[in-house]
Amino acid sequence: MKINSKTGVKAAAKSGSKQPTLAQLRAFAAVAEHLHFRDAAAAIGMSQPALSGAVSALEEAVGVQLLERTTRKVLLSPAGERIAARAKMVLDAMGELMKEAEAVRAPFTGVLRLGVIPTVAPYLLPTVLGLFQRRYPLMDLQVHEEQTASLLEGLTGGRLDLLLLAVPLGVPGVTEMPVFDEEFVLLAPREHPLAGRKDIPREALRELQLLLLDEGHCLRDQALDICREAGRGQGADVTTTAAGLSTLVQLVAGGLGVTLLPRTALRLETTRNEYLATGYFAEPAPTRRIALAMRTGTARAREFRAVAHSLREAVRPLPVWAAE
């Protein structure tokens, strides 16, 4: 039954005999997302008639028309747009409630969806995977490698549980748990004047032919910040970029310029390459901070803080500076 008149809406509201169910909210949220009954039904594992019935029951319960149905498409009514946002909030809250219950029943179990940035994943994942195998064998660790913006969207939207990335982020609702600080080193062709030096001043970055990652990588932004702090002018443009660190290293080996490399990446990216040489900056060397990040107020905060503590201990043998 559809209630379109003001009289019908008032009557439904006054009766108060029916309350929306989670199944109805879940069905409506799926239709609101897909704007297609068949796709929505497939997404939540419900038959199309059952889904249609659940949405109709929700419309009857709340006393407003939520959808505009035609033979070809489904649209949200103005009321439907507002109710869809509220329905998502209710379903998200219920999801957090169930996570809370699961965490209390059995900490360090279940699925953990970990997001990692590309300039960390190849170099730290062996340590991370080893840690989980030893300390948290009952956790189902699922790893997602993405750039920072995508990871933050996944974390705040509930698609991911925990992130391993460079900070600070400065994002409301996200709590950062520092793991370690690592210094940057200068990677140069073997014959470069700065190759092999142990006391390179930051000011040397002002005039170097610098190679960086493509836009979107936080490592690019960090390198540019270091260069600006060293007094690199706007005229010293970056003319060559790469999609990944491995490509960047090969460009350096080919003599196209120099780059800044996180120290954890040094061994894997430069092993057995006779065309490369490393230079180290004078103290204080430029650094970046690697941290775990979680949603503030997550039901698994205690678990994630314990994981961060364990990871700090696990990385101490690596050639980095452990953060307090």
**pLDDT of residue 32 exceeding 70:** yes
- Residue of 241, 111, 120, 255 lying closest to 195 (CA atoms): 255
Q: What is the pLDDT of residue 319?
A: 66
Mean pLDDT of 88-112: 83
Is pLDDT above 90 for 135?
Answer: yes
Residue 9 confidence (pLDDT)? 43
Q: Compute the mean pLDDT over every residue in the chain, rounded to the nearest whole number.
A: 86
Residue 5 vs residue 69, higher pLDDT: 69
Check residue 67 and give its pLDDT: 92
| pLDDT tens-digit series, residues 15-25 | 445 789 999 99
Per-residue pLDDT band at 56 (split at 50, 70, 90): very high
pLDDT-based confidence at 228, cuts 50/70/90? confident
pLDDT level of residue 321 (50, 70, 90 thresholds): low
In sequence order, which residues have a C-beta less than 8 Å from that of residue 81 and are 6 or more positions away?
32
Question: At a CB cut-off of 8 Å and minimum separation 6, what does 95 contact?
Answer: 158
* Residue whose C-alpha is closest to residue 56's, from 80, 78, 72: 80
Checking if the pLDDT of 112 tops 80, the result is: yes
Distance CA 213, CA 223 (A): 9
Q: For the chain, give the percent of residues with pLDDT over 90.
A: 56
Answer yes or no: is pLDDT of 275 > 50: yes
Residue of 90, 114, 110, 86 lying closest to 99 (CA atoms): 110
Range 71-81 average pLDDT: 87
**pLDDT top residue among 147 and 270:** 147
E-strand stretches of 136-225:
139-145, 162-167, 174-189, 212-213
Assess contact for 319 and 263: CB atoms under 8 A: yes
Residues present in the chain in total: 324
299 burial level (CB within 10 Å; 0-12, 13-18, 19+): middle
Q: What is the pLDDT of residue 5?
A: 41
Q: Is the confidence at residue 6, as pLDDT, over 60?
A: no
If one counts every other C-beta atom within 10 angstroms of the C-beta of residue 206, the result is 14
DSSP assignment of 192-207 equals STTTT-S-B-GGGGGS
Distance CA 125, CA 164 (A): 10
Question: To 10 degrees, what angle do helices 121-135 and 301-315 make?
Answer: 110
Q: What pLDDT score was predicted for residue 116?
A: 97
Q: What is the mean pLDDT of residues 86-111?
A: 83
- What average pLDDT does the segment 118-143 reach? 94
What are 151-192's pLDDT values in tens digits?
999 999 999 999 999 999 989 999 999 999 999 999 999 999
| 196 Cβ neighbours under 8 A, 6+ residues apart | 277, 278, 279
Domains of the chain: 6-103 (1.10.10.10), 109-180+289-322 (3.40.190.10), 184-287 (3.40.190.10)
Report the pLDDT averaged over residues 112-132: 95
Please list the residues that pair with 141 across neighbouring strands: 112
pLDDT of residue 235: 45
Instruction: Please state the rounded mean pLDDT for residues 115-139.
Output: 94
- Whether the model pTM is above 0.85: no
Q: How far apart are CA 198 and CA 189, in angstroms?
A: 16
